[in-house]
């Protein structure tokens, strides 16, 4: 029974709690038991707040008993990404420098989830300062892929994705600059949405106008990701780029007739980057699925020239802004790749940033024009299948050397530079049983359309129903 509870969808769990078929205590206890059983193998949940969770569950049950109107996520237990500040619960960002850091306040995404009724189970693992897409750090060690414990779970929301796949929580929030919601979702056979910038407002932060890094939902199904987005989205005066559309716009059924949808299929994204043959072969049937759903599908590649420079420049600038003082004080306590990223930011000049902004503008308009011809773009999420967990990053892809820990993530971060919403949805398994995700990309601010297309694909294929054998 506990395992059955842990693999119910978030929507079904919320319904059963709301209608008092299950208590929040039962649901929370089942997830705590699941964490106790499988987390030692996976190392996804790194700070556990079991006693607090059971107190909050009891309070949630008492509210229902008193006739209170339940919130959308009432009684759902969740572990939060360890880069997101949680009042009274340590937030380490995977760094020894913050090993004992206990924030005084929740950041905005945590505020919204708790206001919607979630119960805090603890925190999930991340790479050091969320830098990289393999989740390991000197504080908590390495998170392993539930489908193959010798493989990476991705990152930086790797702990969140591995916990979802393992049944440790039903939904999770994450963040995504270069693929940190999408890469781990692809590696762990779950769903991750990189929303449009401003869709999920962020606060606090030093770069409130920046659009490269966003926060968003993860779940085991597209419908559950939409449910969490309905809580996370919506305007907030503390974010100057927050979109005005209320979160309730995403609390709707996702079923939609896709007949006539114009779909661009780009098996190698823009044709300029390498992919492992297993990735492309596993995703090849995806285009046929959309054709069977009534879509008009053709192979077409967006022009992403300039996206590489845009992403690398703005990322380096943001890393220096956020971590420059940490480098000055604690260089010897930061991983080498992180030091190099911050130093790259310091070498930037005013003209470098100006050029990046000009390229960014041109990229926006080319992308806008591409989506005048197509409604949805399909592409691989990752260039590789989940790799050896003991590697920081793959040394090569399809015979092409990867010189930095970013090189193998281009299929995700080039899309980040466009500002388009992008969904990672489970799309198959290799012959060795490793998950592969499909990236469903839409026009600017077309988050709902992306969710609807991903939902239709999910319902037609049912890959989300396959569980790891832990």
| 74-125 pLDDT per residue, tens | 999 999 999 999 999 999 999 999 999 999 999 999 999 999 999 999 999 9
| pLDDT tens digits, 35-62 | 999 999 999 999 999 999 999 999 999 9
pTM (predicted TM-score): 0.98
Contacts of 66 (CB under 8 A, 6+ apart): none
102 with 90: CB under 8 angstroms?
yes
How far are the Cα atoms of 63, 315, 384, 463 from residue 209, in angstroms, in the given order?
39, 14, 32, 37
* Confidence band for 164, pLDDT divided at 50, 70 and 90: very high
Residue 87 confidence (pLDDT): 98
Task: Mark residue 129 as left, alpha or beta (left: phi above 0; alpha: psi -120 to 50; beta: remaining).
Answer: left
Residue 3 confidence (pLDDT): 84
* Confidence band for 370, pLDDT divided at 50, 70 and 90: very high
Q: Nearest to residue 322, comparing CAs of 204, 236, 418?
A: 204
Residues with catalytic annotation? 81, 156, 180
Q: How far apart are CA 83 and CA 175, in angstroms?
A: 9
Residue 282 confidence (pLDDT): 98
Residue 114 confidence (pLDDT): 98
> How do 376-380 and 296-299 pair as beta strands?
unpaired
| CA 49 distance to own-chain centroid | 23
| pLDDT tens digits, 275-320 | 999 999 999 999 999 999 999 999 999 999 999 999 999 999 999 9
* Mean pLDDT of the chain, nearest integer: 97
Residue 1 confidence (pLDDT): 64
- Token pair 């506990």 is found at 2
Joined tokens for residue 438:
């499909």
22 with 16: CB under 8 angstroms?
yes
| pLDDT tens digits, 375-433 | 999 999 999 999 999 999 999 999 999 999 999 999 999 999 999 999 999 999 999 99
* Confidence band for 453, pLDDT divided at 50, 70 and 90: very high
DSSP per-residue string spanning 87-127: TTB---TT-GGGTT---SS--HHHHHHHHTT-EEEEEE--S
CATH ID of 2-465, from 3.30.300.130, 3.30.450.20, 3.90.1300.10, 3.90.180.10: 3.90.1300.10
Packing angle of the helix pair 24-42, 158-165 (nearest 10 deg): 110
| CA 437 distance to own-chain centroid | 12
């Amino acid at each position: 029974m506990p395992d059955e509870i842990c693999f119910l969808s978030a929507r079904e769990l919320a319904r059963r709690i709301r209608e008092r078929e299950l208590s929040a205590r039962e649901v929370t206890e089942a997830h705590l038991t699941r964490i106790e059983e499988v987390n030692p193998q996976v190392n996804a949940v790194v700070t556990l707040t079991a006693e607090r969770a059971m107190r909050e569950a009891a309070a949630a049950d008492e509210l229902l008993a008193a006739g209170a109107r339940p919130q959308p996520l009432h009684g759902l237990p969740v572990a939060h990404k360890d880069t997101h500040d949680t009042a009274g619960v340590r937030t380490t960002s995977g760094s020894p420098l913050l090993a004992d850091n206990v924030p005084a306040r929740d950041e905005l995404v945590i505020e919204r989830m708790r206001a919607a009724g979630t119960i805090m189970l603890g925190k999930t693992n991340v790479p050091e300062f969320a830098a990289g897409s393999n989740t390991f750090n000197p504080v908590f060690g390495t998170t392993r892929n539930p489908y193959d414990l010798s493989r990476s779970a991705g990152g930086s929301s790797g702990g969140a994705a591995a916990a979802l796949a393992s049944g440790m929580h039903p939904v999770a929030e994450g963040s995504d600059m270069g693929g940190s919601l999408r890469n781990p979702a692809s590696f762990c056979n779950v769903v991750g949405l990189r929303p449009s910038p401003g869709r999920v407002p962020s606060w606090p932060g030093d770069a409130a106008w920046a659009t490269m890094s966003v926060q968003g939902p993860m779940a085991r199904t597209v419908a559950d990701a939409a449910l969490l987005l309905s809580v996370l989205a919506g305007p907030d005066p503390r974010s100057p780029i927050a979109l005005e559309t209320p979160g309730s716009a995403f609390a709707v059924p996702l079923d939609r007739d896709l007949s006539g949808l114009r779909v661009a299929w780009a098996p190698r994204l823009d044709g300029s980057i390498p992919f492992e043959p297993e990735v492309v072969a596993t995703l090849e049937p995806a285009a046929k699925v959309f054709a069977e759903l009534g879509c008009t599908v053709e192979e077409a590649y967006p022009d992403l020239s300039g996206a590489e420079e845009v992403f690398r420049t703005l990322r380096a600038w943001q890393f220096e802004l956020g971590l420059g003082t940490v480098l000055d004080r604690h260089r010897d306590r930061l991983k080498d790749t992180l030091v190099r990223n911050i130093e790259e930011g310091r070498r930037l000049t005013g003209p470098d940033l100006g050029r990046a902004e000009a390229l960014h503008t041109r990229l926006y308009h080319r992308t806008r024009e591409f989506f005048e011809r197509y409604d949805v773009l399909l592409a691989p999420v990752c260039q590789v299948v989940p790799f050896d967990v003991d590697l920081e990053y793959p040394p090569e892809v399809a015979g092409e050397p990867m010189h930095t820990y970013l090189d193998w993530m281009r299929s995700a971060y080039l899309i980040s530079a466009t500002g388009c919403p992008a969904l990672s949805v489970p799309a198959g398994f290799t012959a060795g049983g490793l998950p592969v995700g499909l990236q469903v990309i839409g026009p600017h601010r077309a988050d709902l359309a992306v969710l609807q297309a991903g939902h239709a694909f999910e319902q037609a294929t049912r890959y989300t129903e396959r569980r790891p054998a832990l």
